[in-house]
Amino acid sequence: MNNKILEFSSISKKVFMALAGLFLIVFLLVHLTINLFLLLGDGGKLFTASAHFMSTNPVIKIFEVFLFGGFILHIIIGILLTLKNWASRPVGYNQSNKSKTAFFSKYMIWTGLIVFTFLAIHMMNFYFVKLGLVQPPDGVGKHEFYQMTILLFSNKVYSSIYIVLLIILGFHLNHAFKAAFQTLGLNHNKYNCTIGFLGTAYSIIVAGGFIIIPIYFMFFF
Amino acid sequence: MSKIESKIPDGPIAEKWSNFKSHCKLVNPSNKRKIDIIVVGTGLAGASAAASLGELGYNVKIFCYQDSPRRAHSIAAQGGINAAKNYQNDGDSVFRLFYDTVKGGDYRAREANVYRLAEVSNSIIDQCVAQGVPFARDYGGLLDNRSFGGAQVSRTFYARGQTGQQLLLGAYSTLSRQIKKGTVKMYNRRDVLDVVVVDGKARGVITRNLTTGEIEKHFGHAVVLATGGYGNVFFLSTNAMGSNVTPAWAAYKKGAFFGNPCFTQIHPTCIPVHGDFQSKLTLMSESLRNDGRIWVPKNIEDVEKLRNKTLKPKDISEENRDYYLERRYPAFGNLVPRDVASRAAKERCDAGYGVGATGLAVFLDFSEAIGRLGKSVVEARYGNLFQMYEKIVDENPYETPMMIYPAVHYTMGGIWVDYNLMTTVPGLYALGECNFSDHGANRLGASALMQGLADGYFVIPYTIADYLADEIHTPRMSVDAPEFVAAEKAVKERLEKFISIKGTHSVDYFHKKLGKVMWEYCGMGRNEEGLKKALELIPVIRKEFWSDLKINGELNEYNPEIEKAGRVADFLEMGELMVRDALNRRESCGGHFREEMQTEEGEAKRDDVNFAYAAAWEYTGTDSEPVLHKEQLEFKDIELKQRNYK
Amino acid sequence: MNLTLKIWRQPSVDKKGKFETYQINDISADCSFLEMLDQLNEKLINDSNGPVDFTKCPVSFDHDCREGICGMCGLYINGRPHGPDSGITTCQLHMRKFKDGDTIVVEPWRSKAFPIIRDLVVDRGALDKIIQAGGYVSVNTGGIPDANSIPISKRNSDLAMDAASCIGCGACVASCANASAMLFVSAKVSQLALLPQGKIEAKERVQSMVKEMDSLGFGNCSNTYGCEAECPKEISKSNIARLNREFIGAKVCYENEVTRAAGGA
């Protein structure tokens, strides 16, 4: 598969990148919705039920494979594209570029990699626990995600890092959303504005939505 | 004993070209593969010729001095291209285009050539549209036209203010297709420094690789020059910085006669000169004259006030403005031909009514058009030109009138060619602005693009076959033949001379000096005394050049100073020939205005009895006088008349 | 005005280059950037004596028409291709955009696909190669139906003209964070895809041009749009979207890999 990707044209790679990205964008919305159940104040009843549904429903299981595939594809292609980009200007400029550009687009590899490290920690804390690869914290069962969450967010250091990382994710998404449409050629004078607005709104809602939760647990729980 | 024979086919004018095509010799496809053709220059004429010849199956080598064939200066043509399509139903026809072109050229062009040009003009538009040239269209999807100077019909096709660019990119794309196929081999960043003649026939060129400085030899069964004009003799012109006469001049020295060298077009609408450091002049398209009105103040007091900035142009009332073109030429108004408009501007400025800091400018005013059409329409028509003007001059032409002044733009003169576009050296051809053939003493707007493409796409593929049919038994020649070696040696010696002078002045110093003499004595107005003076001054500058030139850097490296030195060395000889021709032509016609020969109203006065000929000059040595040959021009289909645009 | 110039000097592609600082005085605000360099060169020639080091030879830079249309000039000035103004080429940049006492840093286009020839002159032959790979309509001279036989909507014709105004200067590549040539390629692909004459071989064209672009060392588009910001002809990034669309369409619908012979029939 790797070789095949290397042979793909620049545009094909980017199209896969965009498609995988859009899939992840949808996933994040679902994830956020479930997380927001934490704020209901029902002692985590709905949250636990949803988490249970997500980890046992066979249809979701199938989606999970796609999700992992999407992540891996998105990351590998992202790295391949970036390496080629770096190689295409072996000698750089003395004066840094002052052209008017889409700011976040220049740092997608870095915001992406930071989000990836966050993802790894996140997997350690939850997903691998569920699979039994990592031991849950003392006194918490391996399916008791509500307790795990409360435990983690009660740690102020963890929460602060979580918030910073999600802001970075927001930056990543801010460019990603609009760029995916451009890459897929879905560009139309009439709708460009709407897409731009949706992209910004989406990135703020997702990052903001996730950030509310640790704040809630830190200060109001 | 006339050595020149125009080879005009027999028959009525409308049938000459068809007759020629039906009877000319052909080269069969298997033989075409054995024939090499060298094309110099990648502008409209060169690129279209190379692509068309490549399509036919010849082996073509094409050369340009720029980094890419797409850069040739045809790209800068703004206004449009003429064709006799009569899409506007306004009475146009092939004959009318032919008539307007001959009349516009002040009856100094060869009828048969011009008729052919008008005849193939329609095919050019078809061809370019098929290549994907985005000509302007109406809402119905059909092609739009605009009108240009010297015509009373709208026959000019255009692509915004970038017609030359679009046509050139069309030709460049077909050329690129042939390069990929291997029928054309591209040599970019090459100066062609000499033409090699073997046994009286053109057989190759000597080039300098501008990147490495290496001297190269190339063989061809025929050599086609499409090197553009020599307007840079004047230093300041609308030509590109690199535009030069060198290959044409080399051809002249190898036996090709030079036709009507003094016929220079001074374009009326250019941005005025603003300082000594200026390197070139920028043209504002003639299409601006469709809606812009040209004027200067009527009262000399207003001129003073404008100059010391106590008065703004828009504050001068209508009755105090002198719309001198509309006054003098009510029928054509602001759309008189270029030479007429330029001289009229000079006349006003010489009389002291010029505006701007130097007094060498007139107003081109759009306020009336903006009032009549609205700013948005004016913007749609000329927006890019207005923007260009504002970037250069830092004034907003929507609010204050533009200032313009005439500048050297085009050279109607060029290498003398016969009907087949062959020079007096067999196997050596000249196309486009490089030749002298179609525009007489003045070119009409939007005709240069037409001629370049006509020559390249539709004329040379036929006429060159007529010659090459007899060359199919000539094997490819080794470039080690003595003629090649001798030419290479001469080229190298000249280059080494440049380096070895080690004088005190840069190339530009001499170029500017020459330019001043040319503009002063051989520019818009010429007279016997001035021309004689120039004839004394130019050899002095030339001598100084060859003894006091200073060049930094080496020969065998990328060195623009070497390129410039070669070009200026040739201009220094070319300028003298122009002056000589201007002195010889004791009449005023088109762009050539001899001050002694004018009517009482200051219009050009032709002398058809003594000067209805094309002058073809033969080289006899740098310091000896060239020999004049005359090609008598016969006007069978058009009656010779005084041009009248009143 | 008086200026300090920091200019990249490099004798040839295989030799090392460096920045050299020059002082130039009494420059008129009305003169163009290239005319300012002309004056520097004139000064370098006049000030030198005997054989000189390459840093004392005139500065080499590409230029020709000096009216913003040939696409030959291109300098990276103070961090921006074609300098501190928009919608212009380097030759259209005027000194009034600078202030007395400014230091101006002048660099060549930097890209793997554009090797340096000397000083500020780079080889942009890669752009020609991309056009040779398919940036044309495969028609021979002659035998063409009347120009008005296929009406083309004014809108498409105008859009095609917008794209066709590309001058091939390479500023898009120079400004792109990834030295990508997507704007250049998309301009030609768009122009021809929008016109019925070009539509006929649009699928083959877009594939072979992208293939050629990828092989020449240009980077990938990361939707940064520095290209659009610096394009002297202000060609829109929407052309890149159209290129993507055309490419995806061609890849999805096209039965075979690109098989056409070089240059078409």
Please state whether at least 3 CB pairs lie below 8 Å between chains C and B.
yes
Clarify whether residues C40 and C103 are in a common domain. Answer: yes
Measure CB to CB from residue C221 to each of A14, A90, A95 and give the nearest one.
A14
Residue type, B207: T
Within this chain, do residues C214 and C155 fall inside the same structural domain, yes or no?
yes
Q: Do B283 and C145 touch (CB under 8 A)?
A: no
- C51 shares a domain with C113: yes
Domain(s) labelled CATH 3.90.700.10 in chain B stretch across 269-406
Q: What pLDDT, in 10s, does the model give residues A84-130? A: 999 999 999 999 999 999 888 999 999 999 999 989 988 888 888 88
pLDDT, position B293: 96
Residues of chain C neighbouring A181 (CB-CB closer than 8 A)? 241
- CB distance C161–B388 less than 8 Å? no
pLDDT interval class at C40 (50, 70, 90):
very high
CATH code, B269-406: 3.90.700.10
Domain A2-85+104-220 is found in CATH 1.10.10: no
Say whether residue C211 is in contact with chain A using an 8 A CB cutoff.
Answer: yes
User: Does C257 score more than 80 pLDDT?
Assistant: no
CATH number of C148's domain: 1.10.1060.10
Pairing relationship of beta strands B414-415 and B293-297 according to DSSP bridges = unpaired
Domain shared by C44 and C85, yes or no: yes
Query: Same domain, yes or no, for C58 and C147?
Result: no
Overall average pLDDT of the C6-13 stretch: 96
| Residues of B involved in catalysis | 338
Pinpoint the residues of chain B covered by CATH 1.20.58.100.
482-609
* Number of domains composing chain C: 2
- Alpha-carbon distances, residue B502 vs B255, B560, B571, C42, C49 (angstroms): 32, 16, 20, 15, 9
Calculate ∠ Cα A169-A174-A179, nearest 5°: 120
Contacts 24+ apart (CB under 8 A), A168-172: A168/A111, A168/A114, A168/A115, A169/A111, A169/A115, A169/A118, A169/A206, A169/A207, A169/A210, A170/A203, A170/A204, A170/A206, A170/A207, A170/A208, A171/A104, A171/A107, A171/A111, A171/A203, A172/A104, A172/A108, A172/A111, A172/A112, A172/A115
pTM of the predicted structure, to 2 decimals: 0.95
Handedness of CA B153, B167, B236, B388 (dihedral sign): positive
C150 and C247 in a single domain? The answer is yes
Query: Per-residue confidence at A44, pLDDT binned at 50, 70, 90?
Result: confident
Q: Would you state the pLDDT for residue C261?
A: 46
**Which residues in chain C are closer than 8 Å to A10, comparing Cβ atoms?**
180, 210, 213-214, 220-221
Chains that touch B (3 or more CB pairs under 8 A): C
Rg from Cα positions in chain A: 19
Contact (Cβ atoms closer than 8 angstroms) between residue B593 and residue B586: no
**Are the beta carbons of A11 and C243 separated by less than 8 Å?**
yes
Instruction: Identify which of B371, B411, B152 has the alpha carbon closest to the alpha carbon of residue B260.
Output: B411
Taking chain B (646 residues) in runs of 10, the rounded mean pLDDT of each run is 83 97 96 97 98 98 98 94 96 96 95 98 98 96 90 92 95 98 98 98 98 98 98 97 98 98 95 89 88 95 92 93 95 89 93 92 95 92 87 93 95 97 98 96 94 98 98 96 98 97 96 97 96 98 97 95 98 98 96 93 91 97 93 94 81
What's the pLDDT at B1? Answer: 39
Residue A92 near chain C (CB below 8 Å): yes
Average pLDDT over residues A149-161: 90
Residue A124: its pLDDT value, please?
87
pLDDT higher than 80, residue C262? no
The verdict on a CB contact (< 8 Å) between C242 and A88 is: no
Lateral strand order in the sheet of B627-632? B414-415, B258-259, B613-618, B627-632
CA angle C233, C238, C241 (to 5 degrees): 135
| CA–CA distances in Å: residue B485 to residues A21, A59, B478 | 66, 82, 10
Same structural domain for residues C169 and C234? yes
Domain-embedded: residue C145: yes
- Checking if the pLDDT of A71 tops 70, the result is yes
Q: What are the phi and psi torsion angles at B450 (to 5°)? A: -60, -45
Residues C46 and C18 in one domain: yes
C 95-154: CB under 8 A from A: 105, 107, 110-113
Nearest to C112 among A88, A93, A182 (CB): A88
Three-class SS state of B379: helix
Q: Is residue C225 part of a domain?
A: yes
Of C112, C113, C222, the CB nearest to A108: C222
Residue B409 CA, chain-centre distance (Å), reads 7
| Residue A3 confidence (pLDDT) | 52
Enclosing domain of residue C199? 125-253
| Sign of the alpha-carbon dihedral angle for B378, B380, B383, B384 | negative
Q: Which C positions 5-24 lie with beta carbon below 8 A of chain B?
A: 11-12
Spell out the residues 6+ positions from residue C107 whose beta carbon is closer than 8 angstroms to its own. A93, A94, A95, C8, C75, C76, C77, C120
To the nearest whole angstrom, how far is the Cα of A138 from the nearest Cα of chain C? 46
Residue C264 counted as domain residue:
no
Question: What are the CA-CA distances from residue B416 to residues A133, B231, B260, B438, C71 (Å)?
Answer: 90, 17, 8, 11, 32
Supply the CATH number for residue C42's domain: 3.10.20.30
Cα C163 from Cα C184, distance rounded (Å): 9
In the listed set C102, C118, C134, which residue is the last one of a domain according to the structure?
A: C118
**Is position C259 within any domain?**
no
Joined together, the tokens standing for residue A119 give 């993802």
Instruction: Specify whether the backbone of C57 is left (phi greater than 0), alpha (psi in -120 to 50) or beta.
Output: beta
Residue B548 identity = D
Question: How many interface pairs between B and C have CB atoms less than 8 angstroms apart?
Answer: 235
Q: Do chains C and A touch (3 or more CB pairs under 8 A)?
A: yes
CA atoms within 13 A of residue C52's CA, in its CB half-sphere = 18
Contact C89, C74 (CB under 8 A): yes
Determine contact: C80 vs chain A, CB below 8 A.
yes
Which is nearest to B428 in space by CA: B245, B93, B201?
B201
- Identify all chain A residues contacting C251, using CB atoms and an 8 Å cutoff: 12
- Residues 429-468 in B contacting C (C-alpha not used; CB under 8 Å): 457-458, 461
**Whether residue C140 is found in the same domain as residue C199:** yes
Boundary-marking domain end, from C118, C144, C159: C118
Can you give the pLDDT at residue B175?
A: 98
Q: Which residues pair with B526 in a beta bridge?
A: B594
Both C101 and C68 in one domain: the answer is yes
Instruction: Classify residue C228: in a domain, yes or no.
Output: yes
Cβ pairs bridging A and C (under 8 Å): 138
The 10s digit of each residue's pLDDT in C45-72 is 999 887 789 999 999 999 999 999 999 9
User: Using a CB-CB distance cutoff of 8 angstroms, which residues of chain B are in contact with residue C68?
Assistant: 388
B389 CA to chain C: closest CA distance, Å?
10
Residue of A10, A15, A106 with shortest CB distance to C248: A15
CA B477 to chain centre: 33
Distances (CA, A) of B351 to B274, B318, B402, B528, C77: 20, 20, 20, 21, 44
Angle of helix C125-132 relative to helix B163-181, nearest 10 degrees, comes to: 80
At B625, the amino acid letter reads E
Q: Cβ-count burial of B618 within 10 angstroms (0-12 exposed, 13-18 middle, 19+ buried)?
A: middle
* Global ipTM: 0.96
**Is B177 an 8 Å CB contact of chain C?**
yes
On chain C, the residues whose CB falls within 8 A of the CB of A13 are: 220
Chain-chain contact of A179 with C223 (C-beta, under 8 angstroms)? yes
| CA–CA dist A58, B366 (Å, integer) | 74
* Cβ atoms of A9 and A81 closer than 8 Å: no
CA B585 to chain centre: 20
pLDDT greater than 70 at residue C223:
yes
User: Could C221 and A91 be called an inter-chain contact, meaning their C-beta atoms sit closer than 8 Å?
Assistant: no
Domain end (from C94, C118, C142):
C118
Per-domain residue ranges for chain A?
A: 2-85+104-220
B201-209 β-sheet, strand order: B190-198, B201-209, B215-219
Taking CB atoms and an 8 Å cutoff, what residues of chain A touch C242? 185, 187
Fold of B482-609: Methane Monooxygenase Hydroxylase; Chain G, domain 1 (1.20.58)
Instruction: Kindly state the tokens that stand for C265.
Output: 């029939």
With CA atoms as reference, report the closest residue to B566 among B242, B186, B317. Answer: B242
Task: Quote the pLDDT of residue B358.
Answer: 87
What are the chain C neighbours of A192 within 8 Å (beta carbons)? 238
* DSSP H helix total and E strand total for chain B: 19, 19
Say if C129 falls within a structural domain: yes
- Point out the residue among C111, C224, C242 whose CB comes nearest to the CB of A101: C224
Same-domain pairing of C131 and C238: yes
Q: Which residues of B touch C123 (CB under 8 A)?
A: 67
Contact with chain C for residue A185, Cβ under 8 A: yes
